[in-house]
Amino acid sequence: MEILMNKNCIITGATDGLGKQTAIELAKLGYNIGLVGRNQEKGDKVLDEIASATGNHSLKYFKADLSIIKNLDNLANDIKREYDSIDILINNAGAYFSQYSETKEQLEMTFALNHLSYFQLTMLLIDAIEFEIPGRVINVASSAHFGAKLNLNDIQMKKKYKGWTAYCNSKLMNILFTYEVHKRYKDTGISFNSLHPGFVDTSFGDNNRGLGKNILSIGKKLIAINVFKGAKTSVYLASSDEVENVSGKFFDKSKAVKSSKISYSDSNQHKLWSYSENIINDLCS
């Protein structure tokens, strides 16, 4: 395959579902793709699948458990050794946990994986994203954020955990982070946008047991869209000239739309940023 666009794109959670389909579509356009996942065997298999499907062999797999925040330093260094600059970072990794669980760093799992990994990986790579021609950061959020009940005094829900609320809260955090990082780094020329991919038929939620998993399974059968449709907005934000200078927005079906009222709160954006930064400093000091 002739490489049409010499652009470097990093996609987290790229060995399955939306991330994998996004990688396939961007590989078809000739992008150099760096896929991030936690299973080396699965990653190698996906690289072969994408190369076979697209003819693009400019693919690299980076192994990392994104829920362990200290791992992200090594991940970022590995990525920077492979690529001189990054044109697109797609923070896509995420999951729903019906029961409360903690990471090895004693962080609530949903918070760590769905939000803090977005925050820290973006910050660690921002110099490479800014290098020469400023790039794009795309945060895969969800319209589920409209159901968020974020308590800024208990962001990780350690006092009264509810799995679906924690997931909705994490998707609100993705948007709060997008708006705040846009304000802080708008002078760099980097664009920061978030999106709702739709309710997509993937393995999302299959890590759970019981009622939560059953409800999601029924929903997937009845109303879910396929991964090709689900990946469209991510691919649009990564590749379209129409959004070259668009930043600080929330997209649905490749259109900028209004997110929830609470997501526009400057106070909430700033408090979440400070809280996230303090945790990072404690973990990495």
| pLDDT in the model for residue 155 | 97
CA 117, CA 91: separation in Å to the nearest integer?
A: 8
| pLDDT in the model for residue 230 | 82
In a domain, 16, yes or no: yes
Query: What is the span of the domain harbouring residue 238?
Result: 8-284
Name residues of the chain where pLDDT drops below 50.
1-4, 200-208, 210-224
CA 119, CA 111: separation in Å to the nearest integer?
A: 11
In a domain, 190, yes or no: yes
In a domain, 3, yes or no: no
| pLDDT in the model for residue 218 | 39
| pLDDT in the model for residue 199 | 55
* Catalytic machinery residues: 167
**Domains in the chain, number:** 1
170-220: per-residue pLDDT in tens?
999 999 999 999 999 999 999 999 999 965 444 443 444 544 444 434 333
| pLDDT in the model for residue 131 | 75
In a domain, 2, yes or no: no
CA 235, CA 92: separation in Å to the nearest integer?
A: 12
Angle, CA 251 vertex, CA 64 and CA 117 arms, to 5°: 20
CA 285, CA 279: separation in Å to the nearest integer?
A: 10
The answer to whether residues 44 and 30 touch, using CB atoms and an 8 Å cutoff, is: no
In a domain, 45, yes or no: yes
CATH number of the domain that residue 83 is part of: 3.40.50.720
CA 57, CA 35: separation in Å to the nearest integer?
A: 13
Copy the structure tokens of residue 282.
Answer: 């404690």
In a domain, 112, yes or no: yes
In a domain, 80, yes or no: yes
